[in-house]
Structure 1
Amino acid sequence: MKSIFIRKWKGIVVMACTISLPTFPLSAQNQLVLHYDRPAEYFEEALVIGNGTMGAILYGGTDKDVLSLNDLTLWTGEPDRKVTTPDAYKAIPEIRALLDKEDYRGADLAQRKVQGHYSENYQPLGQLSITYLDTPAKITGYQRTLDIRQALARTSYQRNGKAFSCDYFASAPDSVLVLRLQTESEKGLQATLAFNSLLPHATTATGNEISAEGYAAYHSYPVYLDDMKNKHLYDPERGTHFRTLIRVIAPNSQVKSFPSGELKIAGGKEALILVANVTSFNGFDKDPMKEGRDYRNLVAQRMNRAAQKSFDTLEKAHVADYQSFFNRVELNLGTTDKAIASLPTDVQLLQYTDKAQKNPELEALYFQYGRYLLISSSRTPGVPANLQGLWNEKLLPPWSCNYTSNINLEENYWAAETANLSEMHRPLMEFIANLQHTGEETAKAYYGVDKGWCLGQNTDIWAMTCPVGLHGGDPSWACWTMGGAWLSTHIWERYAFTQDKAFLQQYYPVLKGAAEFCLNWLIEKDGKLITSPGTSPENKFVTPDGYVGATSYGCTADLAMTRECLIDASKAAEALGTDKEFRKQIEKTLDRILPYQIGKKGNLQEWFHDWSDEDPQHRHQSHLFGLYPGRHLSVESTPDLAKACARTLEIKGDKTTGWSTGWRVNLYARLKDSKNAYHIYRRLLNYVSPDNYKGKDARRGGGTYPNLLDAHSPFQIDGNFGGCAGVIEMLMQSSENSIQLLPALPEAWKDGSVKGICARGGFVVDMEWKDGKVTSLYIQARKGGKTKVSFNGKTKTVNLKANKGIQLL
C-alpha cells in the first residue's frame, strides 16, 4: 500500500511516498525505532544518546553534522558550605504569629526573610562539528534513526549517488562516544572535525587527536534573575575543569591536524571517531580544583583503552551492556496500520494529535523511550538525571537545568522500579544521602529545627538544600520546605520493590532524618498537628477579602508528604526490627495530623480554609500527593477522598504542561479511571513544535516534541518519565502484599501483553490479555515472599521462594 504525506521543510512543500524509503522496515515502532526523513534543524528534532554520564545531541546534517556534547558532572559552582541567611530561623515565630492573626499579606512578606541562595547551573560541554568538504552535494534517500532497542543512532543517505552513513552510540563499558563514518564514494571521506565550547577553553590538535581543556564558572546565577547582569563568575583557578579528547582512527585515510585545532580526513572509506571527556568533579563536598579528580590522566586512559578496540568490538560491548537493562521489559499494545507506522515519527505524532489516529505502536514506543532515556542519563554515582536528563545546550538553561524537588526530580524516577531499572534509581539514593549532610544545617539555620534534615524547592550537584529566592523570590515557589520528605520516600519505594535489606540498612538513617524533621516541624493548632508556615508548590490562594497569597498553615500537600514520609520511616524501622520508640512516636503523630478536608465543590481542599485557587487549572496538583506517588489514599481504602481527588482533576481540566500531564496519567490510573487515564496519555503525546520554530503552523504548550522529548514547554525530561510510569500504573498496581492487574486498562489496549514489569514485594510480572481479561500470567519472586494477585475478578495468594516463579494462567 502506498501512503502519501505532505510536509514543509525550510519553507518548501515536500510530497513523499512512504515506499520511497525501501531500506527502512514498515513497522518501525515494532522494532522501537525513531525515524525521520530529514536532518534536525532544532534541538527538539534532534536525537539524543547517552551512557549515563556523557551524552550527545545529534542533528544529522549533510553539509555539517553537529553533535552537542554533555557531561552530567559539568556544573558551575563549588561545594555548598555557607549558610547565606544564618539567622533566617528567627523569622519563623514572626511568620507563625502573623498567620495566627490571619495576616497573609504580612506572612508573605516575612517569608522573604527565610530565603537563601539559588542553585548553580548545569553546563553544556561543547560541540563537535563534522564539516563535509564535497559540498554542495546532491542528497537523496535521507534517513535519520534511533534504535532504542540497541541504543544505536544512524544517519544514512545517498551523497552524489553514493551511499554514505554515520553511526553513533554512547558506550558505558568504554566511557566514550563512538562515531563511524562510511562512504562508497571513490574519493573517500572528505571532512573537517572541530570542537568548540561556550565555556572558557583552549583547543589543540596533534596528529589524529583534538584535545580541549576548559572550566565552568565557580559561581553563577539563574537565567531568570534579571538584576544580575554578569551571571557567570570565572576564575581559571576555581570551579570544575574538564578535558575532552576527540581521536580519529582511519588507517586508509590521511588525517592531518591544524594549528586552529582542527583535524582533516581525506581519502579512505571509513573512519572511527572516539570522544572522551572527564571533569574534575569529585563529589558534592570536594573542591573540584583542590580536591578534584585527576581528569587529565583519566581521560587519556579512557581514550587509549577504547582506541585499542575496533568499532565492532566497541559496539558489541555497548549493546550487550545496554540490553542487559533494556531487554527486561517488553510491551505490546497492538499493531499500527502499516501505512501509518511507515511515516516518519514526527509525522506520526502530528497525525496522532490532529487526526486522533489509533497508533498503539507509537504509544508503546513512547513508553520504551522513557526507559531508554533513564538508562542513558542515570548511571553516575551520586549524580541523578537532572531537569533535562543530561542533554543541555545552554549556559543559562531554563530553571538552571537543576534538580527541582517539588515534583520534577521525583517524577524522573517514578518508572525506575516498576519498569525494571532499579540500578538507575541508585544515583538518586546516593544523592539523597548527600542532601542529608547539607540539609541538617538548613533545618537549623532556616527553620530552627535541631533534629533531622530538609530540602527546599531546588538543589544542584553540590547538594544545596536551602530555600531559594534571596533577591525577592515569590514565596509560592521559593519558600517550600518539604523536598526532603518527598524525596526520602524513594528510599522505601526502592526497598519495597527490591526487598534489599542491606540497602535499607544503609539508607534508613537518611529516611529517618527526613521523618525527624517532619516530626519537629509540626505544630499544634486546635488540637491537631499542622505545618506553619507552608506553601502549596507554585500555587496561590484567594482570601475572602481578595488577597492573592502563598503563605499559609496546614497546607494539604505539606501534610500529605509528612504522612507518607512518616509511614515509610515506620515501615522501614519495622522491616529492620529497630527503633520501637520512634515508631510509637510516629503512630501517635499520624493520629493527630489534621485530616484531609473536602471542599464545597466536592474537591480535595488544597488549603486549610476552603479557598479558591488563583488559577483553578494550575499545573501543580501537589495536594493529591497521597493518591500518587503516595499510597495512603486509594479508591478502596479512602473512597470519599478518592472521589474528591477525581473532582479536583475534573476542575483542573486536561490542558496543562508536559510533566503535569504525565502526573495526571498516574493519578487517573490510581483512581481506576481508564478512560481519563488514556485520554490524558494521549494529551501527553500532543504534538508541540520546536521552541524556535516561527511558522504559522507552530504549536505551543505542553506535550511532546518531534523527537519525542517532553514539552513543558520548554523541554523538561520529567514528562517522559511520568508518562512511562503511567503506562504501568494502567496495567498493574501493587502494595507490599498485593498486586492488581489491569486496574485501569484502556479500551484502546483491550488486547496486549507485557513482560518484566515489577511489583512491590519483589515480584516480576509477565502477562497477556485479550478483551480486557488476563489470558496468561507468570509471576516470579526476586527474594521470595507472599502476595495476593487480583485479576479477572478473582484473587489468588502466591507464596514463592527466591528466584522461583509460578504460571497462574
Structure 2
Amino acid sequence: MDDVSRLIYRTPAHEWVERLPLGNGALGAMLDGDLPTTRILLNEETAWSGSPSSERSGGVVSAERAAGLLSAAREAVGGDDPGAAAAALAPLQVPYSQAYLPLGELRLTRRGTSDAPGYRRALDLATGIHHVGLGGFDEHTFVSYTRGVLVHRIRGGGEAAWHLDSAHHVLARASGSDGAELQLRLPSDVAPTHEPQAVPVTWSDAPGDALEAAVVVGVRRDEGEILLVLAAETTFTDMGRPPEGSAADAAERARERVDAALEAGWSELAAEHTTEFAMRMSRCAVDLGSVPLSESGEELPTDIRLRRAQSAASGPLAEDPHLAQVLFDYGRYLLLSSSRPGGLPPTLQGIWNDTMQPPWSSNYTLNINMQMNHWAAHPTGLDESAEPLWDFISALAIAGTETAARLYGARGWVAHHNSDAWLLSSPVGAGHGDARWTAWPMAGPWLVLHIADAMGFGAIDSARLRRLWPAMHGVAMFLLDWVRPDGAGGWSSAPATSPENAFVMADGSIGAIDATTTMDLALAREALHAVAQVADRLGEGDDPVAVAALALARSLPGSPAVDGGLLREWARPRAEEDAHHRHVSHLVGLFPGTQPWDLPTRDAAAASLTRRGDESSGWSLIWKSVLWARLGRGDRAEDLLRLLFRDAAQVTGPWAGGLYPNLFAAHPPFQIDANLGYPAALAEMLLQSHDDLRLLPALPPSLAAGSARGLIARPGVIVDLTWRDRALVTASLRTRDERTRSVRVRSGASVLDVVLDAGSTVVLTASDFRAGARRSVGGGEF
C-alpha cells in the first residue's frame, strides 16, 4: 500500500483543525498526539440532540391551512409578487433540525514531552492507523469497524492515567485501574446559531425526549505495554424511531465489545483492522508524483509541504503535484471512515464535531452538501460508503409521505433544505426563514439520482434496488403532481426557488420565488428518467407511475434556456442579487446530471461559470471544478483547485474556501463536503462516463504525468490509466462483473468501440487511438 499517502507532522496539534481524524463510520476520534497528556475527542454517529418528536414540538400547520397558503403563494407567483409568495409560505416552516453533537473526550497522561527532538505523529491513510513516536515512546491508535471499538496501544510511556469527560449531563461515572465509564444524557433540543432568539441547549428528563449514551474504557497491561480499548453506545434505535433503553443498557453493550476486544489482544486487533481497512482503500489510487524529501532524505511534514505549495508563484499543484494525490487519498479515507453499512450518512462535518452548537447544526443539508458527500463513492471504488445514504433515502421517503400530503396535497414524498437523524422533512426557518433556502421541496428528486448512479456504475444488485424502489416510485408521484404545464407552452413547479440565490425585481426589491427554475426542471427530468430506468431493471416498466414518469421526462426541456449567452436560472430572465453566488444550481443538469447538452448550451454554461467567478466556499470550489471538468476545461478546473489549496486561516471572507493544517477543507469554517467531493472531482478530470467513456477529458496542466488504477466508469468498468506529457500512454479496461460489455472509448478526438468479455482485460495504447477512424477492439461484437 505504498501508493496511498500519509499525513506527517513534527509537532502535536494545538487547535482542532490540526488534529487528525479516525473513524469506523460510527465512532469518530480526533487526536492531538500531545505529550505527556493527550485529549482524544470522541464522536458517535447517533449522538444527536432531540428525538423524532422534535420536528412537531412547536406544532405544524394542518392540511386545510396549508392548502390555502399554497394556493395564495401560487397566486402571488402568477402575479410576479415573490414577496407575497414568501409570506404565504412562511407558516409552513418548523423551527429547525436537530444537531449532531460531540460525545466526550478521553484524557490520557503518560511519560514524555512533545517538544523533545525526534517527535513525530502520522496518520497512515492506507491502514487508518495513527502513530506517535519519540525515542523509546511509541503509541498507535485506530478505530476498528469489525469490533466497533477504538484501540490505543502505548509502549515505553510508563504507567498511564486516564479520565473521561463530557459536556452532556453525567448520569453515572466510574473509574479504576482497569478502565473507566461514563453514562450520559444528551440534550432534548439544540438550536442553530442562526436562531439567536432560541434557547441554545435544552435538557429534559422526560422519557423519550432525548438520547442517553455511555462511553466505556477497558485497560490491559502486558510486558511494558498498555492496551486501552474504548466503545461508545447510545439509546438510538433507528432513523425516525424513538430512543429505547437507558444509559446503563448502552454501557452494557459497550462493555461487551470492550471485553471481547481486550481478550483478542493487540496483535489480532491490529492485523484484523489493517487487513479490512487496507483492502478497501487499495481498490483505487492515483500516482501524481513523488513525495518531497528533506535534505536528510526524510519525507517532509504535511504542513510544511502545504505552506511551500501555497506560497509558490507557479501554483500549489505545479509546486507539489503529489499533494493532489494526498488530498484524493484523504477524501476517500474520510469517506470510508465516516460512512459504513448499517450506519448513518456523514453530516456536514462527517462524524467529527467538537461543539455543542455546531455550524448549521452539523446536520444533513440536502440542497448540495449531502449529495456532494457521496459523489466519490462509486467512481473511486467505495460503494459500501453509499449504503447509509440509500438507507436514509428509504427512511426519509416514508417520513416525507405525510409531509407531502399535508403541506402540498401531493402524492409521494417530499423533503426540503435540512434533515437530521430523526428524518425531519418539513421546511425549516421558524416562520421567518428566508424563502431562498426554505421554499425548496426538491431534495427527493436530487437524492434518488444517487440510486440511479449506483445502478449506472454497477454498484447495486437487483435485490437492494428492489428495496429502494418505493422511494423512487414516491419521487415520481410527487413530481407528477408538482410539475405541470403552465398553460403558455412552458412548465411550472411553483412555488420554486434556485437554492440559495435571489433576484432583483424591477422596483429594486429582492425576490426568490418564481413559477419554476432551471434546477427544478433539470432535477425533475433526471429523476423521472432515473425512475424509468430502475423500473425497467426491476421489470416494472408497465407500472402506471413509471409510464407516466417517462412521458413527463420526455416532455420536459432537455437543456436550460439561454438568455444573452448565459443559462437562465429562473422562469424568465432575471438579474441575480449576487452574480457571484456560491450556489450554481442552474448547472445541476451538467453535473451531477448526465443528460446531453448541445454545444451552444455548453458554451452558455461556460459563460455562466465565468460570470459566477471562481472565489467561493470550499464545497462550491469543488462543484465548479467538476463542472469545468465536464466542459473539458482542465485548466479552469485547476484554477479552482488552486483556491482550494489555500491556507484557510489566511483567507478572509464568509465564502472563501481553503485547507486547514490537517487538510480539512473550509466552508469556512470546517465542512467535510469539499474533502469528500474532491476525489470525485479529480476522478472526473481523469475519466468520464456519463455518455461515452472519455479518457483524460480535463487533465489539469500541472498534473502532466501520472497514473490511476481502479477508477470506475459506467456501465461497471474498472479503468487503469497512465499518461505522460499530458497525453495518454495506456488504458486498461475490465468489467466489474461476469457480463460482457460494449463501451465507446474516446481519447481526444479519436474513438474506439471496445468489447469487454467477462474476466478479460483490454489494454489500449496511444497508438490504438492514433490509428484514426472509429474501429472496434476486443473480443466480441460491439
| TM over 0.5, shorter chain | yes
Residue number in structure 2 paired with 1:346? 303
Residue number in structure 1 paired with 2:18? 45
Residue number in structure 1 paired with 2:699? 745
Contact preservation (8 Å) 2:240, 2:421: no
| C-alpha separation in 1, matches of 2:226 and 2:246 | 38
1:676 to 636, 644, 650: 636
2:47 to 74, 88, 109: 74
| C-alpha separation in 2, matches of 1:69 and 1:690 | 28
SS of equivalent to 2:615: coil
Distance 1:116-1:803 versus aligned 2 partners, 3 A rule: farther
Deviations, residues 355-389 of structure 1 (Å, cap 9, x unaligned) = 12421111101011000001100015251111111
| C-alpha separation in 1, matches of 2:566 and 2:252 | 60
Matched, 1:593 2:556: yes
SS of equivalent to 2:499: coil
Residue number in structure 1 paired with 2:165? 196
Matched, 1:111 2:82: no
SS of equivalent to 1:711: coil
Deviations, residues 425-451 of structure 1 (Å, cap 9, x unaligned) = 1110011000011111111111121x1
The AA in structure 1 aligned to 2:300 is L
Residue number in structure 1 paired with 2:422? 462
Distance 1:337-1:343 versus aligned 2 partners, 3 A rule: closer
| C-alpha separation in 1, matches of 2:437 and 2:247 | 34
| C-alpha separation in 2, matches of 1:127 and 1:797 | 57
Residue number in structure 1 paired with 2:237? 282
Contact preservation (8 Å) 1:84, 1:117: no
SS of equivalent to 1:492: helix
Q: State the shift of 1:205 in Å.
A: 1.1
Residue number in structure 1 paired with 2:768? none
Count of aligned pairs between the two proteins: 747
1:84 to 30, 51, 60: 60
| C-alpha separation in 2, matches of 1:751 and 1:711 | 29
SS of equivalent to 1:740: strand
| C-alpha separation in 2, matches of 1:29 and 1:546 | 59
| C-alpha separation in 2, matches of 1:621 and 1:203 | 50
| C-alpha separation in 1, matches of 2:653 and 2:648 | 8
Residue number in structure 2 paired with 1:428? 389
Deviations, residues 514-554 of structure 1 (Å, cap 9, x unaligned) = 12211111132213222100111111111122111112221
Deviations, residues 639-687 of structure 1 (Å, cap 9, x unaligned) = 1111111111101111100011111111010010110012212221112
Residue number in structure 2 paired with 1:384? 345
Q: State the shift of 1:141 in Å.
A: 1.6
| C-alpha separation in 2, matches of 1:536 and 1:307 | 53
Matched, 1:766 2:720: yes
Matched, 1:318 2:273: yes
Mapping of 1:149-188 within 5 angstroms?
Answer: 149-158=126-135, 163-183=136-156
1:97 to 47, 55, 75: 75
Contact preservation (8 Å) 1:732, 1:740: yes
Distance 1:728-1:486 versus aligned 2 partners, 3 A rule: same
Distance 1:135-1:542 versus aligned 2 partners, 3 A rule: same
| C-alpha separation in 2, matches of 1:440 and 1:718 | 28
Distance 1:492-1:294 versus aligned 2 partners, 3 A rule: farther
Matched, 1:363 2:324: yes
Larger deviation, residues 652-661 vs 791-800:
791-800
| C-alpha separation in 2, matches of 1:690 and 1:308 | 48
Residue number in structure 2 paired with 1:36? 9
| C-alpha separation in 2, matches of 1:292 and 1:168 | 26
Contact preservation (8 Å) 1:690, 1:706: no
| C-alpha separation in 1, matches of 2:548 and 2:490 | 15
The AA in structure 1 aligned to 2:438 is A
| C-alpha separation in 2, matches of 1:689 and 1:557 | 33
| C-alpha separation in 1, matches of 2:694 and 2:115 | 57
2:600 to 637, 640, 657: 640
SS of equivalent to 2:14: coil
The AA in structure 1 aligned to 2:498 is S
| C-alpha separation in 2, matches of 1:109 and 1:792 | 52
Q: State the shift of 1:74 in Å.
A: 1.0
Q: Percent identity between the aligned chains?
A: 33
Mapping of 1:356-755 within 5 angstroms?
Answer: 356-357=315-316, 358-449=319-410, 451-498=411-458, 500-525=461-486, 526-580=488-542, 581-593=544-556, 596-598=559-561, 600-634=563-597, 638-689=598-649, 701-735=656-690, 738-755=692-709
Deviations, residues 99-149 of structure 1 (Å, cap 9, x unaligned) = 1111122112112122123111111110101134x6878622221111101
Matched, 1:779 2:733: yes
Matched, 1:795 2:751: yes
Q: State the shift of 1:424 in Å.
A: 0.7
Distance 1:503-1:380 versus aligned 2 partners, 3 A rule: closer
| C-alpha separation in 2, matches of 1:690 and 1:283 | 41
Structure 1: runs of 5 or more not aligned: 1-27, 253-268, 692-696
Contact preservation (8 Å) 1:282, 1:293: no
TM-score (norm 2): 0.91
| C-alpha separation in 1, matches of 2:2 and 2:497 | 43
Contact preservation (8 Å) 2:4, 2:329: no
Deviations, residues 605-638 of structure 1 (Å, cap 9, x unaligned) = 111121111111111001100000111144xxx2
1:213 to 171, 177, 183: 183
Larger deviation, residues 364-373 vs 76-85:
76-85
SS of equivalent to 1:350: helix
Contact preservation (8 Å) 1:220, 1:233: no
Contact preservation (8 Å) 1:529, 1:592: no
Residue number in structure 1 paired with 2:125? 148
Q: State the shift of 1:297 in Å.
A: 2.9
1:240 to 211, 220, 227: 211
| C-alpha separation in 2, matches of 1:673 and 1:483 | 29
Residue number in structure 2 paired with 1:9? none
Distance 1:198-1:533 versus aligned 2 partners, 3 A rule: same
| C-alpha separation in 1, matches of 2:16 and 2:650 | 7
Q: State the shift of 1:156 in Å.
A: 1.7
Q: State the shift of 1:190 in Å.
A: 4.0
| C-alpha separation in 2, matches of 1:213 and 1:728 | 44
| C-alpha separation in 2, matches of 1:402 and 1:338 | 40
| C-alpha separation in 1, matches of 2:699 and 2:151 | 41
SS of equivalent to 1:141: coil
| C-alpha separation in 1, matches of 2:560 and 2:683 | 30
Q: State the shift of 1:413 in Å.
A: 0.2
| C-alpha separation in 1, matches of 2:423 and 2:382 | 24
Residue number in structure 2 paired with 1:11? none
SS of equivalent to 2:180: strand
Mapping of 1:301-316 within 5 angstroms?
Answer: 301-316=256-271
Q: State the shift of 1:237 in Å.
A: 3.4
Q: State the shift of 1:469 in Å.
A: 1.0
Q: State the shift of 1:29 in Å.
A: 9.3
Q: State the shift of 1:270 in Å.
A: 2.1
| C-alpha separation in 1, matches of 2:2 and 2:86 | 51
Deviations, residues 257-312 of structure 1 (Å, cap 9, x unaligned) = xxxxxxxxxxxx42111111111111123221369995233212211110112212
Contact preservation (8 Å) 1:620, 1:660: yes
Contact preservation (8 Å) 2:413, 2:478: yes
Contact preservation (8 Å) 2:439, 2:495: no
The AA in structure 1 aligned to 2:439 is C
Deviations, residues 31-50 of structure 1 (Å, cap 9, x unaligned) = 51111111111111110000
Residue number in structure 1 paired with 2:772? none
